[in-house]
């Protein structure tokens, strides 16, 4: 049982967590609900490709095969094979229990009531997790949740009474249902149908594009967008690769970061016109390249705002050609509801007559996480934050939930790359490699706390005092608001 780590999920994140935990000599057991590795790449619609150029979505120690010509590999034939060969190459498969859906996890340690007021890692007591798989209980000392943020629990909009799918004569599905269909059934579902797709992000664009390919102008696909977003037809703008604009260290100098030093703050402020200019440079390219203005699809947010919140994707091939020929009709509407014949949207007096509505409205990743916990207290912790995002230290550890890590919930331009470095950090953490004696680096450690709180970490007045006067408790006065007690 010693060093037994339970990993839930064998998608990209679970494979990475398992590989790095194995490297440190732990004894992992991976529970995977499906019968194979690869997670969501097993269930995508036919046209799905990697949105990143392949060299930015690859394992650091396992490059794509040199025989692969495509810059943006396709889902099952290429991405899935790549993930499978990674699992084979690093001997991960024997550690995976397939067809093993974890129903819930239950922490056995301090009483929950006590724990509500305590912090991470209790020592000297029995503490482990019971993972319920079918009717069998597996005991592990640490759990890594790699259950995926964009799968499993769909986000279905809510409607007032008598305005939801129940009054509609046609069929309503979520993009996830579409992704789970086999090729023939998915093709049959959309064939010669009047289809409306709700959503303006990547799934919606891809599905609308597939419908247009299948049905042409005879049965145009209506896309209902609440918000217009910037999308890229390729990875470069005016001949400059996006990587040079947004993925190097210089580009991060232009952005304010939590807890940054005075110098970095000053630099980001001084360089903000350049940041604005880069955003406009990209926007000008997209406005020139795509007829967005003609269709009222110029986003209100700047390109910079969109890329900062991970709302940037690649446009499906010839998307606006389909809009121009009329096989895709773009409609903007803040709200929508159902009636007998189809959909009612704002600004249109007549309903949009529809046979099939596909809700490409995203996923409830936080709900999926919450459902994993038997304890209502832990469930509450997952949803307790004021922000809509689960608060995780280094985007990995929830500070109120002991002996548990979450990989795959932070979004970036390359999610594989983000999951890999977090898996490496986690393995390092589990291996006990974080110093417990901090005598010689005490000030450096306190700097990190100050930065986490967004406070200045250099606490003394003047360079001489900063570097040569000993640091003591009073240097840290005023980090928190003054108590009124
Ligand atoms: C259609 C689509 C395309 C994408 N394309 C890109 C892209 O091009 N570039 C990019 O950077 N990101 C992309 N993403 C984001 C994507 O989420 C990540 O790149 C990555 O593949 C996610 O891997 P994961 O392991 O975290 O999650 P998943 O792939 O969702 O894997 C989760 C695994 O956990 C298993 N599981 C869940 N619950 C349980 C349970 N209770 N018990 C046991 N097993 C369980 C599931 O069966 C699944 O195998 C895409 C997302 C989607 C939906
Ligand atoms: N590699 C690929 O080709 C590929 C393909 C598909 C998906 N993905 C990835 O998978 C992830 C999920 O993408 P996704 O497109 O499925 O989901 P998503 O990014 O969460 O987008 C959901 C869309 O639904 C809209 N929406 C949500 N609730 C709504 C409501 N009540 N009424 C109207 N519209 C509503 C949102 O509108 P707003 O825009 O107004 O918020 C948004 O446009 C992303 O990371 C994406 O990049 C990648």
* Nearest ligand atom owner, CA of 146: 1
The single residue listed with the structure tokens 């249109």 is 348
The total number of residues shown for the chain amounts to: 485
Q: What percent of the chain has pLDDT over 70?
A: 92
Tokens of 363: 């996923």
DSSP bridge partners of 232: 314
pLDDT of residue 272: 95
pLDDT band at 96 (very low <50, low <70, confident <90, very high): very high
Tokens of 225: 């967008």
pLDDT of residue 54: 93
Ligand 2 and 157: CB distance under 6 A: yes
Half-sphere exposure of 453 (CA within 13 A, CB side): 12
Distance 58 CA to ligand 1 centre (A): 15
Residue extents of the structural domains in the chain: 4-151+364-476, 165-233+293-359, 243-289
Q: Tell me: the pLDDT tens digits for 212-235?
A: 999 999 999 999 999 999 999 998
Ligand 1 and 102: CB distance under 6 A: yes
The beta strands (E) that lie in 271-378 are given as: 313-314, 328-332, 336-338, 342-345, 352-353, 356-359
Q: Tell me: the pLDDT tens digits for 299-320?
A: 999 999 999 988 889 999 999 9
128 Cβ contact list (under 8 Å, min separation 6): 107, 108, 109, 139, 140, 141, 403
Q: Tell me: the pLDDT tens digits for 118-144?
A: 444 445 455 688 888 989 999 999 999
Burial 397-418 (b: 16+ CB within 10 A, else e): bbebbbbbbbbbbbeebbbbbb
Alpha carbon nearest to ligand 1 atom 53, residue? 150
The listed CATH number (3.50.50.60, 3.10.129.10, 3.40.50.300, 3.80.10.10) that belongs to domain 165-233+293-359: 3.50.50.60
Ligand 2 and 151: CB distance under 6 A: no
pLDDT band at 281 (very low <50, low <70, confident <90, very high): very high
Ligand 1 and 420: CB distance under 6 A: no
Ligand 2 and 197: CB distance under 6 A: no
- Asked if residue 115 has pLDDT above 70, the reply is no
Asked if 203 and 360 count as a contact pair (C-beta separation under 8 A), the reply is yes
Distance 233 CA to ligand 2 centre (A): 18
Asked if 223 and 208 count as a contact pair (C-beta separation under 8 A), the reply is yes
- Asked if residue 464 has pLDDT above 70, the reply is yes
Rounded to the nearest 5 percent, the helix, strand and coil shares of the chain are: 35, 20, 45
Strand 136-140: give its sheet, edge to edge. Answer: 102-108, 128-133, 136-140
State the chain's mean pLDDT as an integer: 90
Greatest pairwise CA separation for the chain in angstroms: 79
Distance 265 CA to ligand 1 centre (A): 35
pLDDT of residue 92: 98
Residue of 407, 410, 379 whose CA lies nearest to 5: 407
Residue of 51, 15, 373, 105 whose CA lies nearest to 382: 373
Asked if 2 and 25 count as a contact pair (C-beta separation under 8 A), the reply is no
pLDDT of residue 35: 97
Ligand 2 and 152: CB distance under 6 A: no
Name the CATH superfamily housing domain 4-151+364-476: FAD/NAD(P)-binding domain (3.50.50.60)
Alpha carbon nearest to ligand 2 atom 39, residue? 227
């Amino acid at each position: 049982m010693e060093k037994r780590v339970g990993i839930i999920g064998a998608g990209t994140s679970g494979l990475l967590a398992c590989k790095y935990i194995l490297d440190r000599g732990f004894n992992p057991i991976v529970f995977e609900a499906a019968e194979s590795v690869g997670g969501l790449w097993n269930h995508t619609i036919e046209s799905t490709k990697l949105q990143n150029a392949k060299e930015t979505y690859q394992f650091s120690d396992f490059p794509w095969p040199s025989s692969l010509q495509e810059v943006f590999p396709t889902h099952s034939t290429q991405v899935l094979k790549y993930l499978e060969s990674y699992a084979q190459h690093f001997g991960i498969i024997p550690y995976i229990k397939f067809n093993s859906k974890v129903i819930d996890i239950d922490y056995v340690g301090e009483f929950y009531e006590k724990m509500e007021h305590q912090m991470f890692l209790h020592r000297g007591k029995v503490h482990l997790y019971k993972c319920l798989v079918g009717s069998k209980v597996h005991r592990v000392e640490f759990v890594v949740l790699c259950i995926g943020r964009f799968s499993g629990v769909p986000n279905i909009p809510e409607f007032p009474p008598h305005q939801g799918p129940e009054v509609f004569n046609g069929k309503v599905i979520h993009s996830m249902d579409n992704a789970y269909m086999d090729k023939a059934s998915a093709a049959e579902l959309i064939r010669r149908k009047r289809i409306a797709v709700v959503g303006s992000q990547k799934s919606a664009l891809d599905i609308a594009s597939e419908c247009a390919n299948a049905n042409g102008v005879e049965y145009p696909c209506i896309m209902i967008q609440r918000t217009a977003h910037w999308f890229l037809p390729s990875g470069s703008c005016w001949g400059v690769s996006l990587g040079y604009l947004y993925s190097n260290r210089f580009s991060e100098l232009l952005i304010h970061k939590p807890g940054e030093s005075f110098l970095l703050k000053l630099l980001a402020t001084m360089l903000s016109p350049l940041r604005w200019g880069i955003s406009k440079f990209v926007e000008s390219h997209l406005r020139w390249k795509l007829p967005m203005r003609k269709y009222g699809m110029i986003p209100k947010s700047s390109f910079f705002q969109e890329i900062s919140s991970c709302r940037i994707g690649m446009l499906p091939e010839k998307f606006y050609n389909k809009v121009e020929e009329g096989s895709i009709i773009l409609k903007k509407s803040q709200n929508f509801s159902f009636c007998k014949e189809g959909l009612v949207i704002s600004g249109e007096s007549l309903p949009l007559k529809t046979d099939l509505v596909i809700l490409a409205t995203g996923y409830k990743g936080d709900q999926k996480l919450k459902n994993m916990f038997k304890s209502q207290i832990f469930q509450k912790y997952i949803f307790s934050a004021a922000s809509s995002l689960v608060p995780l230290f280094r985007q990995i550890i929830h500070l109120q939930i002991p002996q548990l890590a979450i990989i795959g919930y932070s979004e970036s331009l390359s999610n594989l790359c983000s999951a890999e470095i977090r898996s490496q950090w986690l393995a390092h953490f589990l291996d006990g490699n974080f110093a417990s004696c901090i005598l010689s680096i005490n000030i450096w450690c306190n700097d990190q706390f100050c930065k986490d709180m967004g406070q200045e970490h250099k606490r003394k007045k003047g360079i001489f005092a900063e570097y040569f006067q000993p640091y003591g408790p009073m240097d840290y006065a005023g980090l928190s608001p003054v108590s009124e007690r």
